[in-house]
Amino acid sequence: MKKFSIFLIVIGIALIIFGNIFYKHHLNADDSGGSANITTINGSWSVKIPAFFGGVMLLFGSIFYYVDSDEKRLAK
């Protein structure tokens, strides 16, 4: 379980970093509400799902790592 949690942490950090690099905010001049659309490098509309899932994977990996280390500490 420790290897799996480290894998989740690494993948989560990579998704956060690369999700923020490859997705950018594009201000919409027609919108008076001040909101921003999220576009990809090619200019097509998209959501920022990779960064969100990266955060979730980082959270779950950290929880699994803590639980695994806590179980080993209590077993002694």
Number of structural domains in the chain:
1
pLDDT for position 39: 56
| Model confidence pLDDT, tens digit, residues 17-44 | 887 777 665 555 454 444 455 555 666 6
38, 45 Cβ separation under 8 angstroms:
yes
Q: Which DSSP string do the residues of the chain spell out, in sequence order?
A: -HHHHHHHHHHHHHHHHHHHHH-EEEE-TT-TT--EEEE-TTS-B---HHHHHHHHHHHHHHHHHHHHHHHHHHH-
Print the domain residue range for 46: 2-75
The pLDDT confidence band at residue 70, using thresholds 50, 70 and 90, is confident
